[in-house]
A = this chain, B = another copy of it.
Amino acid sequence: MARLNDYNVSLVKVKGEFVWHTHDNTDDFFLVLDGHLTIQLRDRNIELGEGELFVVPRGIEHCPRADDEAHILLIEPAGTPNTGDVAGPRTAQSQWI
What residues of B have a CB within 8 angstroms of the CB of A77 in the complex? Answer: 5
Q: Quick check: which of A29-37, A38-46, A60-68, A83-91 contacts chain B, the rest being far away?
A: A29-37
Cα A2 to Cα B3 with chains together (Å): 19
| Chain B residue nearest in CB terms to A77 | B5
A48 adjacent to chain B (CB < 8 Å): no
B55, A29: Cβ atoms closer than 8 Å: no
| Subset of 18 A-B contacts with CB under 8 Å | A2-B53, A2-B54, A2-B55, A3-B27, A3-B55, A4-B27, A4-B29, A4-B55, A4-B75, A5-B27, A5-B58, A9-B53, A31-B31, A31-B73, A33-B51, A34-B51, A53-B73, A75-B75
